[in-house]
Amino acid sequence: MPTPGSPGANGLAWSPDGKSLAFLGGPDGQQLETVLIGSDRRPTVLPARCGAAPAWSPDGLWIACGVRNESSILLISPDGKYSRKLASSVPTFLQDFVIVWSGDSSRLFVASSLMGDARLDAIDVGTGATRKIAGLGAQREFRSAY
C-alpha cells in the first residue's frame, strides 16, 4: 500500500493532503472513484472512465487521467462537479504512458512509448498547448503502476 507522498501503485493516487485516494474501480477497472481514508462511506464514483491510473494535482483541485477511446486527458474536480479535456499528442486510453503533474499544478507531463520511440510531452493546463520535451529513443516502456 502506498503512503502519502509516494508514487501511486495499482492505480492509486493520494490526494495532496493525504486524506483521500483516487483509483480506478468498477467491474472493468476503468471507473474513476475517490475514497476518504478512515471513513465508513462508500467510495464516490466520479463521472469519468479512464484508460490508466489517475494523477492528483499537487494543489488538490484536479484529478487527471487518460480518457477511454480518445487521445485526451480528462481533468476532473475531486467532487466530480467540474471537468474538462486536454488534447494529447499520444493515445492516452492505453496503459503505455504515465501522467505526472508539475509541482505548481500548471503542467502535465506525459511519458509515452505507444508510438514507437518513447517521448516526453508537456501540456499546459491553462491553455491546453502541448509540446514535445524529449525523444527518449526506442526500447523504453512506460506503464501505469497497475
Give the pLDDT confidence of 75-117 residue by residue, as tens digits: 999 999 999 999 877 655 555 678 899 999 999 988 776 556 6
Q: Give the residue, 14 or 136, on which the prediction is more confident.
A: 14
pTM of the model: 0.81
Q: How many other C-beta atoms are found inside a 10 Å radius of the C-beta of residue 46?
A: 23
Residue type for position 45: V
- Which long-range contacts link 120-126 to residues 24+ away (Cβ below 8 Å)? 121/88, 121/89, 121/90, 123/73, 123/86, 123/88, 125/62, 125/75, 125/86
Handedness of CA 95, 9, 41, 73 (dihedral sign): negative
**Location of C-alpha cell 492516452:** 92
- pLDDT mean over 24-41: 88
Kindly tell me if the per-residue pLDDT of 70 is higher than 80.
no
User: Which of 3.10.129.10, 2.120.10.30, 3.40.50.300, 2.40.50.100 is the CATH number of 13-137?
Assistant: 2.120.10.30
- pLDDT mean over 117-146: 73
- pLDDT mean over 19-28: 88
Q: Where do the domains of the chain lie?
A: 13-137
- pLDDT mean over 54-61: 96
C-alpha cell at 24: 480506478
Over pLDDT 90: what percentage of the chain?
40
